[in-house]
Amino acid sequence: QVQLVESGGGLVQAGGSLRLACSASGRAVSMATMGWCRQAPGKVREFVAAIRRSGGGTYDADSVKGRFTLYRDNAKNTVYLQMNSLKPEDPAVYFCAASYGGVSAITHDYEYDYWGQGIQVTVSS
């Protein structure tokens, strides 16, 4: 059984930075396609960033391109989402997800098997 636990959320001023962490237990993150999604009140869930297992490719949503970076620390079995230049439209609950069986498309959130509980990110203007 895999458990994902997010940390690092909170309140930050517009233009500031936060780093979210997703710590996994049960299986290695290096063997999974890992992703971050976010959902704001009244909006559909948006896939923000993802990385295929074994370095097979990455994805960044247009809305965060150049500002957010997803990377893995295999030694810590943790995936990070570095968020810079945060904007008023970035606040949401951010979720970490993992797929160990592979995904046909990296943004198909329904193909991810494991999800964290979510963590709130708030941006003040």
Each residue's pLDDT tens digit in the chain (125 positions)? Answer: 899 999 999 999 999 999 999 999 999 999 999 999 999 999 999 999 999 987 668 899 999 999 999 999 999 999 999 999 999 999 999 999 999 988 888 888 899 999 999 999 999 98
C-alpha pair distances (Å), 15 with each of 44, 83, 88, 114, 123: 24, 10, 9, 31, 9
C-alpha pair distances (Å), 70 with each of 1, 29, 35, 43, 55: 24, 13, 8, 23, 12
pLDDT of residue 23: 98
